[in-house]
Structure 1
Amino acid sequence: MVDKQNSRYQLPSVDKILNDPEITKATRDLPRSAVVNAIRSVLSSFRQEINHGSRQPDKTITMRELAPLISVTAREALAPIGNRVINATGVIIHTNLGRAPLAQPAIEAAASIAGGYSDLEYDLETGRRGSRTGAVESLITSLTGASAALVVNNNAAALFFILNALAKEKEVIVSRGELVEIGGSFRLPQIMAAAGCVMTEVGTTNKTKAADYVGALGKDTALMLKVHTSNYRVLGFTASVALDELVELGREHDVSVVEDLGSGNLIKINGLEEPTVSASVKAGADLITFSGDKMLGGPQCGFIIGRADLVQTLRNHPIYRALRLDKMTLAALEATLNLYINDDPKEKIPVPAMLNQSLDTLKERARRLLSALAGTTEVEIEQGATKAKVGGGSLPGQELKSWGLRIKPLGMSEDMLASCLREAKSPIIARIEAGEVVLDMMTVSDAEIESLAVGIRSAVDGSS
């Protein structure tokens, strides 16, 4: 058995390693603290190997052996956790890739605010405390026609907030066909339980009728909840209660109706069937929640709009302070909403702009990339039709006509090529279909073509 106490003395000390010329040369451009932490990490790994018997305790460890290990360990620790990537998947609102890219004015507004102080909660006219969210709330009510608005840090928080503040220890009626599960395996029943509500399911998975809601109403009913099934679709022998019909039932029985709309679509684009927020306002829902970083195209946030008295109740609730937005998010959001009012969002905001692209535009982008890849060996490349998606739990089952490149590697597997693309200087995220790596132009900008071509060449050359 290895003597664990004596084995650690077979390794050089941290100071000896730190001051060795080999180590100094390999880490000269790195902060001292990062090098020290890397040395400790490498030595700890060696000790574990010795103690587990996978390394001989009397084996001499040279500085030449340690130098690259310490250098790599330190550099990996210093590498940024978040990286800008090229989204070539064709999924526009890709949750794993950060959802909506921001418009340039939103980026500039956030950067400007981040670099100094701001009038976040200060009224420049009166010199007194001002409203943190007044500007964005005024903009969203103007855009949707709602009476009042509140903005919090995401849509899940918005729904949880409503349930906890307005229906704690009371009943909330919801159709069994709308018991959604969102990303990360969070399910509506769990959210309701965490909010302290009593969930009452009505109807069946495929059919829910108005009579089902009426039959469930009781003295402890606080809300009727309608959830837009934004990430799945039930087809065939189905029935559901329209929002305006549910609102009528709510008014007859003095029960508020809340709609979780999800995607936050503010405008009609290219005949897409995703419902708009203003349509839900017109239908009369008492409160509506939706995301800011999906089809709206802004930063992560969640909106609550609707009846002024209910919004005010939420505003006065102590939980609200825990859900407030920071100054950078508010600046980016205000700039995004202003583009809807003062400009054409289908040209200026990336998500609506991508959804509004013509097929000819995508074909020209693919042609440019194909031309930039001329002469690339070890792969077969052709352009052709692809199918893109909105993503972000919007328009499930609906595919968008798109165009892109299909790359068939000759000297490696498609999985290996996709992996090499992810390791490019500007990481490229593609998709794999039928043994080919597909680069969908729907989510690639014109400005990314050059970096995309460089990354593809590097991936092919580096693996050959």
Structure 2
Amino acid sequence: MKALRALPSVDQFLLSEPGRALIAQHGRTEVLAALRARLDETRRAIRAGEAGDGLAAGLAGQVAADLAARAHSRLRPILNLTGTVLHTNLGRAILAEAAIEAATAAMAAPLALEFDLESGGRGQRDDHLRGLLCELTGAEDATIVNNNAAAVLIALNTLGAGREAIVSRGELIEIGGAFRMPDIMTRAGVRLVEVGTTNRTHPHDYEAALGPDTGLILKVHTSNYRIEGFTAEVPAPRLAAIARSAGVPLLNDLGSGSLADLSAFGLRREPTVAEAVAEGAELVSFSGDKLLGGPQAGFLVGRRDLIAAINRNPLKRAVRLDKIRIAALEATLRLYRDPDRLAERLPTLRLLARQQAEIAAQAARLAPEVHRRLAPFSFAAEPCACASQIGSGALPVDTIPSAGLRLTGHGGNAPDRIAAWLRALPRPIVGHIRDGALILDMRCLERDADLLDALPAP
């Protein structure tokens, strides 16, 4: 077929100036695969009646576009304007500059990760964080794993495998991704003993369930929901006394967990890790990438002999942290030694502490320019009041007064069209739909230029 002869051969393309440039950028193997796939598609188009000359002229550009798309990471930086500061689907906490610098240094050179520089012998990777965690929480000892679910799993398995774990029915939570506490307990090898009812559990419920097969009592902080109304739960100090009298440990799973009093930043108070330790729990588990503001990790702090037993569990190696996260966590924890400047240095707390007046001024400042850039696409923007939330299960029914931009367009599906258009930008912008509009909450936008640079130029 004559039209097919307009296409270059594989060798001709690879030896051409565009071909050599693509090979220099992507490598011969990648270019060859992309070229063959595009040639096959082009031949099919020509046989279907399209002009061969035009398709041949655009071949180099199409191959270049295909290669660029293949080389583009799916882990793309986005603008989180959802109003959820710790958004699980968007990676939760933004790391502090000190943590980023520490992680970068850890990636660039060998470290004394499990090497004792004084003795020249083998060291323990947990040692880099153990002292800081004990200092900040008041616990005897500490160990670190890759997330809080792993912390609960290994603690249950260590203390209660083949035995019973007592937990209130009102605390049998389901966390993100349909992971349920009863399922985690099953995988840990413990037998679940439910006590009380969904809304009310009393001390005598726990006491009646204790027996020779009891391995531990588990208390779970209901961080991602609230039961209100006719309710009762056993406070941690009372539960710790019950466990102590029975000679079994209490594991208090705080979920998000916080090392700082959130009320100092204008938020409703959450129990701190230090308070949970002081209340008598033998073990306390919490996350590193939520309210603490660090990378993904799970911590267990508490009684020295129990931590030692957990560290001897073969599961520990399967859930341990790498050097990069340990370095970032160490830098993050050090920030808590200076509480007066914590909100200034830790992005999570800095964003949560932003005042509505400041955010409203930013929204008003940005609205005219954003409206001008959206107008050619038949979208409009105006300032609005809105409400932010912490996210990742913390204070689920509490919101924080905020402000943002209300984006509208023509037609009932305009919010979905605007949302899809913003997600398709080179740097995607993600908001939330409410009351017939797409809301861009400005709480997590610290620089005006980040939003303007992400939008098409006027």
Q: TM-score, normalised by structure 1?
A: 0.88
Name the counterpart of 1:3: none
Q: Which amino acid aligns with 1:384?
A: C
Aligned counterpart for 1:105 among listed residues 95, 98, 101: 98
Whether 2:427 is the aligned partner of 1:426: answer: yes
2:118 alignment partner, SS class: coil
1:34·1:78 contact (CA, 8 Å) conserved in 2? Answer: no
2:8·2:56 contact (CA, 8 Å) conserved in 1? Answer: no
Counterparts of 2:233 and 2:150, CA distance in 1: 26
Q: Which moved more, 1:162-171 or 1:59-68?
A: 59-68
2:219·2:253 contact (CA, 8 Å) conserved in 1? Answer: yes
1:451 alignment partner, SS class: helix
Counterparts of 2:256 and 2:158, CA distance in 1: 23
Whether 2:357 is the aligned partner of 1:364: answer: no
Deviations 1:369-417 (A, max 9, x none): 2354364434432223210000011111111111112122359822222
Counterparts of 1:268 and 1:371, CA distance in 2: 38
2:422·2:429 contact (CA, 8 Å) conserved in 1? Answer: yes
Whether 2:274 is the aligned partner of 1:275: answer: no
Deviations 1:20-60 (A, max 9, x none): 8597389465432222232454577789xx8xxx9968999
Structure 1 residue 73: Cα displacement: 2.7
1:288·1:306 contact (CA, 8 Å) conserved in 2? Answer: yes
Whether 2:442 is the aligned partner of 1:441: answer: yes
Q: Which amino acid aligns with 2:361?
A: E
Structure 1 residue 323: Cα displacement: 1.7
Structure 1 residue 171: Cα displacement: 0.7
Name the counterpart of 1:413: 414
Measured at CA, do residues 372 and 41 of structure 1 come closer, stay the same or move farther in structure 2, by a change above 3 Å?
same
Measured at CA, do residues 192 and 291 of structure 1 come closer, stay the same or move farther in structure 2, by a change above 3 Å?
same
Identity %: 40
Name the counterpart of 1:288: 284
1:22·1:63 contact (CA, 8 Å) conserved in 2? Answer: no
Structure 1 residue 63: Cα displacement: 3.6
Deviations 1:400-445 (A, max 9, x none): 1111121223598222222222222322111121222211121111
Counterparts of 2:156 and 2:12, CA distance in 1: 58
Name the counterpart of 2:455: 456
- Equivalent runs, 1:52-67 vs 2, <5 Å: 63-64=56-57, 67=60
Counterparts of 2:366 and 2:49, CA distance in 1: 56
Measured at CA, do residues 223 and 34 of structure 1 come closer, stay the same or move farther in structure 2, by a change above 3 Å?
same
Structure 1 residue 92: Cα displacement: 0.6
1:421·1:455 contact (CA, 8 Å) conserved in 2? Answer: no
Measured at CA, do residues 434 and 80 of structure 1 come closer, stay the same or move farther in structure 2, by a change above 3 Å?
same
Name the counterpart of 1:254: 247
Whether 2:236 is the aligned partner of 1:236: answer: no
Q: Which amino acid aligns with 1:31?
A: G
1:22·1:64 contact (CA, 8 Å) conserved in 2? Answer: no
Q: Which moved more, 1:62-71 or 1:383-392?
A: 62-71
1:121 alignment partner, SS class: coil
Deviations 1:172-201 (A, max 9, x none): 111111111111111111111111111111
- Equivalent runs, 1:369-380 vs 2, <5 Å: 369-370=366-367, 372-373=369-370, 375-376=372-373, 377=375, 378-380=378-380
Q: Identify unmatched segments of 5+ residues in structure 2.
A: none
Whether 2:396 is the aligned partner of 1:396: answer: yes
Q: Which amino acid aligns with 1:143?
A: L
Measured at CA, do residues 369 and 149 of structure 1 come closer, stay the same or move farther in structure 2, by a change above 3 Å?
same
Structure 1 residue 365: Cα displacement: 2.4
Counterparts of 2:330 and 2:274, CA distance in 1: 19
2:10·2:36 contact (CA, 8 Å) conserved in 1? Answer: no
Structure 1 residue 286: Cα displacement: 0.8
Whether 2:61 is the aligned partner of 1:72: answer: no
2:383 alignment partner, SS class: strand
Q: Identify unmatched segments of 5+ residues in structure 1.
A: 1-8
Name the counterpart of 2:328: 332
Q: Which amino acid aligns with 1:173?
A: I
Deviations 1:140-168 (A, max 9, x none): 11111111100111101111111112211
Name the counterpart of 1:159: 152
Counterparts of 2:367 and 2:112, CA distance in 1: 49
Q: Which moved more, 1:387-396 or 1:411-420?
A: 411-420
1:17·1:23 contact (CA, 8 Å) conserved in 2? Answer: no
Name the counterpart of 1:169: 162
Q: TM-score, normalised by structure 2?
A: 0.89
Q: Which amino acid aligns with 1:436?
A: A
Q: Which moved more, 1:56-65 or 1:82-91?
A: 56-65
1:380·1:410 contact (CA, 8 Å) conserved in 2? Answer: no
Deviations 1:119-140 (A, max 9, x none): 1122223333223121311111
Whether 2:32 is the aligned partner of 1:36: answer: yes
Counterparts of 1:46 and 1:259, CA distance in 2: 63
Name the counterpart of 1:307: 303
1:426 alignment partner, SS class: coil
Counterparts of 1:37 and 1:220, CA distance in 2: 62
CA RMSD of aligned residues (A): 2.8
Counterparts of 2:160 and 2:246, CA distance in 1: 16
Measured at CA, do residues 26 and 63 of structure 1 come closer, stay the same or move farther in structure 2, by a change above 3 Å?
farther
Counterparts of 1:396 and 1:105, CA distance in 2: 29
Counterparts of 1:45 and 1:281, CA distance in 2: 65
Aligned counterpart for 1:146 among listed residues 130, 139, 143: 139
Measured at CA, do residues 87 and 224 of structure 1 come closer, stay the same or move farther in structure 2, by a change above 3 Å?
same
Q: Which moved more, 1:271-280 or 1:78-87?
A: 271-280
2:218 alignment partner, SS class: strand
Q: Which amino acid aligns with 1:404?
A: G
1:150·1:305 contact (CA, 8 Å) conserved in 2? Answer: yes
1:17·1:63 contact (CA, 8 Å) conserved in 2? Answer: no
Whether 2:190 is the aligned partner of 1:191: answer: no
Counterparts of 2:282 and 2:253, CA distance in 1: 11
Measured at CA, do residues 64 and 20 of structure 1 come closer, stay the same or move farther in structure 2, by a change above 3 Å?
farther
Counterparts of 2:324 and 2:338, CA distance in 1: 21
